[in-house]
């Protein structure tokens, strides 16, 4: 066995963000760049020698190259067995499922989620711990510290492994097991939802389309929807994962999933439309001419959880990220269960899920999930909706509108200013921060500020704190404006402004959200001076 020790020098930009290390492909292709980060991951772990590791990615450009490197480094670092998805494919939730099911010490997931791929696109590396959850801050900080001090890495000098063929291979003393990326995950879904009811729904003339956006969910959706649930062939569109996602932006929202949106808002649309992102953890839900806001979706799943076999006995609690709307809070109150508010990013849900404090959790950014894995899960959310529709016998629109009648409607929108100059964005945030203490008591267009702070969070399980997690401005009627900078972008800075207003009156619940939120949109600009600092008249993406 030929283990090589390669001398290297640290890079200073390997700090994991909201969701792992994300950089452009050319950055990852720099000599030793990937190797340094992978070695730093191993160096952050204790006692993993001889144990299992899960490995796979969303199939984007550089996935296959990176997998071969990581396999050889895992072998050189003493990993016992690597479970790698066939073809190098594993969706983020499927990787989480495998880590848990096969008691791996962790998993390495190669993805830049919804960011575009290809030779000039983005690439990313995420590390998940033994519970299947994205590494918590203490681990990512250790990885970052190791990456700043690294002097050498270990790699086995060996031929590439044939990752396209199922089976076991030997790489030095390590076993590589090429596994079916779909089977275990599909079994897990079948154990959660009422597949018989969904099968009946799909056989009854109910029509649906799922757009996989040429990203990782294609094979998963085909197996689950078309093979196991008997949806007609062709239900899953753009089902073949492509290295550049067909040139698209694999983000399931009204802007980037245009083809699906045109179908669902066109003549004679199907009853149900859904999409997922690059690595399969996000979801978008549409009815005929109808869009379900992710924050509402979380609230509706919580309110209807008793219709799903796995949650029929009740949910223990719910959690949402701070910028996510308070729609789910109202459901929790009615159910008499706890509702936790966490910083942005899935890693903050892990402890709450592990401790059994919450069953469902979600984010406004098209992410919902439960205690079945430790990641958000796109297909899971889509199946949850199908399960609800099958049991309630109502359309998507009817379900949502009935929810608003019961709980009130929470108008919600996120305005993104992408690719803004980094220093201008930082100045905007600093300026906001310095004025926070003056805001309470002030009136803006009839809205009185009752709270203005920079959100900080203390984890109720391990007591760790996270500070500066976004600026919250809360008004007397519960309306909110939140500002934060993205932690996942790779070009300049992205400013996100989140707007929310509660409307209990039924006859006021059918406005366009941008109209319903018009005053708050103006107030956001007044308080943060968005136009002045960014030089932009309009957001680049509105969701």
Contact 101, 64 (CB under 8 A): no
Would you give the binding string for Zn ion spanning residues 282-321, x where CB under 5 A is met? ----------------------------------------
404 contact partners, CB below 8 Å, separation of at least 6:
506, 509
SS3 letters across 379-403? HHHHHHHHHHHHHHCCCHHHHHHHH
489 contact partners, CB below 8 Å, separation of at least 6:
115, 418, 419
Query: In angstroms, what is the minimal distance from the CB of 282 to ligand G1P?
Result: 7
Residue 251 binding ligand G1P, by CB under 6 A: no
Residue 281 binding Zn ion, by CB under 5 A: yes
Q: Of 14, 16, 18, 351, which one interacts with ligand G1P (CB under 6 A)?
A: 18
Q: Which stretch binds ligand G1P (CB under 6 A): 283-291, 390-398, 430-438, 482-490?
A: 482-490
Q: Which residue shows structure tokens 């590589």?
A: 176
Residue 371 binding ligand G1P, by CB under 6 A: no
CB-nearer residue toward ligand G1P: 59 or 287: 59
The Cα 283–Cα 384 span in angstroms is 11
Show the tokens assigned to 173: 């003393």
Q: Of 211, 251, 277, 459, which one interacts with Zn ion (CB under 5 A)?
A: 277
Residue 276 binding ligand G1P, by CB under 6 A: no
- The catalytic residue among 113, 133, 212, 479 is 113
Residue 534 binding ligand G1P, by CB under 6 A: no
Show the tokens assigned to 423: 């220093």
What are the b/e assignments for 419-448, b being 16+ CB within 10 Å?
Answer: ebeeebbeebbeebeeebeebeeeebeebe
Q: Which stretch binds Zn ion (CB under 5 A): 47-55, 108-116, 179-187, 347-355?
A: 108-116
What are the b/e assignments for 225-234, b being 16+ CB within 10 Å?
Answer: bbebbebeee
Residue 342 binding ligand G1P, by CB under 6 A: no
Residue 346 binding ligand G1P, by CB under 6 A: yes
Residues in 109-138 at the binding interface with Zn ion, rule: CB under 5 A: 113
Residue 96 binding Zn ion, by CB under 5 A: no
Query: In angstroms, what is the minimal distance from the CB of 140 to Zn ion?
Result: 17
CB-nearer residue toward ligand G1P: 45 or 115: 115
The Cα 167–Cα 186 span in angstroms is 20
Active site residue 113: yes
Q: Which of 482, 475, 480 is nearest to 449 (CA)?
A: 475
Residue 45 binding ligand G1P, by CB under 6 A: no
Q: Which stretch binds ligand G1P (CB under 6 A): 59-67, 360-368, 455-463, 524-532?
A: 360-368
Q: Of 251, 279, 363, 503, which one interacts with Zn ion (CB under 5 A)?
A: 279
Q: Which does 279 bind (CB under 5 to 8 A by kind): Zn ion, ligand G1P, none?
A: Zn ion
Count each helix (H run) and each strand (E run) in the chain, helices first: 18, 27
Contact 274, 211 (CB under 8 A): yes
Task: Report helix, strand or coil for 320.
Answer: strand
Binding site for ligand G1P (CB under 6 A): 18-19, 113, 321, 344-346, 363, 365, 367, 486-489, 496
Residues serving a catalytic function are: 113
């Amino acid at each position: 066995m030929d283990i090589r020790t390669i001398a290297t020098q640290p890079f200073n930009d390997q700090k994991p963000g909201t969701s792992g290390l994300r950089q452009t492909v050319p950055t990852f292709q720099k000599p030793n760049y990937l190797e340094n980060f992978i070695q730093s991951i191993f160096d952050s772990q204790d006692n993993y020698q001889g144990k299992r590791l899960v490995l796979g990615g969303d199939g984007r450009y550089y996935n296959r190259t990176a997998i071969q490197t990581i396999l050889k480094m895992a072998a050189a670092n003493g990993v016992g067995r690597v479970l790698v998805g066939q073809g190098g494919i594993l969706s983020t939730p499927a990787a989480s499922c495998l880590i848990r099911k096969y008691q791996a010490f962790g998993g390495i997931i190669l993805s830049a989620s919804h960011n575009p791929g290809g030779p000039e696109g983005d690439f990313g590396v995420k590390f998940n711990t033994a519970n299947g959850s994205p590494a918590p801050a203490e681990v990512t900080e250790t990885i970052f510290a190791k990456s700043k001090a690294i002097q050498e890495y270990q790699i086995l000098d060996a031929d590439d492994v044939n990752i396209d063929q199922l089976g076991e291979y030997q790489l030095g003393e390590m076993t590589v097991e090429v596994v079916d990326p779909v089977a275990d995950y599909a079994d897990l879904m079948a154990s959660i939802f009422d597949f018989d009811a969904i099968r009946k729904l799909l056989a009854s003339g109910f029509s649906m389309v799922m757009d996989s956006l040429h990203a990782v969910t294609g094979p998963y959706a085909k197996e689950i929807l078309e093979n196991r649930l008997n949806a007609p062939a062709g239900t899953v569109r753009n089902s073949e994962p492509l290295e550049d996602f067909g040139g698209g932006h694999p983000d399931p929202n009204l802007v980037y999933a245009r083809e699906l949106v045109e179908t669902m808002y066109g003549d004679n649309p199907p009853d149900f439309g859904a999409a997922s992102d690059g690595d399969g953890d996000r979801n978008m839900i549409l009815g005929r001419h109808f869009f379900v806001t992710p924050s509402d979706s979380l609230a509706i799943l919580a309110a209807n959880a008793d219709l799903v076999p796995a949650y029929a006995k009740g949910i223990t609690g719910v959690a949402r990220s701070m910028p996510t709307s308070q729609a789910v809070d109202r459901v929790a109150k009615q159910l008499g269960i706890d509702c936790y508010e966490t910083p942005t990013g899935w890693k903050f849900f892990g402890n709450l899920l592990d401790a059994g404090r919450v069953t469902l959790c979600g984010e406004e950014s098209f992410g919902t999930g439960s205690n079945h894995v430790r990641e958000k899960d796109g297909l899971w959310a889509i199946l949850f909706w199908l399960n609800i529709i099958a049991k309630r016998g109502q359309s998507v629109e009817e379900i949502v509108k009935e929810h608003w009648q019961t709980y009130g409607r929470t108008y919600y929108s996120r305005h993104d200013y992408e690719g803004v100059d980094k220093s201008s964005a930082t100045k905007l945030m600093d300026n906001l921060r310095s004025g926070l203490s003056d805001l309470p008591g002030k009136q803006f267009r009839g809205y009185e500020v009752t709270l203005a702070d920079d959100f900080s969070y203390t984890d109720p399980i391990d007591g760790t704190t996270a500070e500066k997690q976004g600026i919250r401005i809360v008004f007397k009627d519960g309306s909110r404006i939140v500002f934060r900078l993205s932690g996942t972008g790779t070009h300049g800075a992205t400013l996100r402004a989140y707007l929310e207003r509660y409307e209990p009156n039924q006859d006021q619940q059918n406005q366009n959200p941008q109209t319903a939120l018009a005053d708050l949109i103006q107030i956001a600009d007044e308080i943060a001076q968005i136009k002045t600092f960014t030089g932009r008249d309009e957001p680049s993406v509105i969701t």
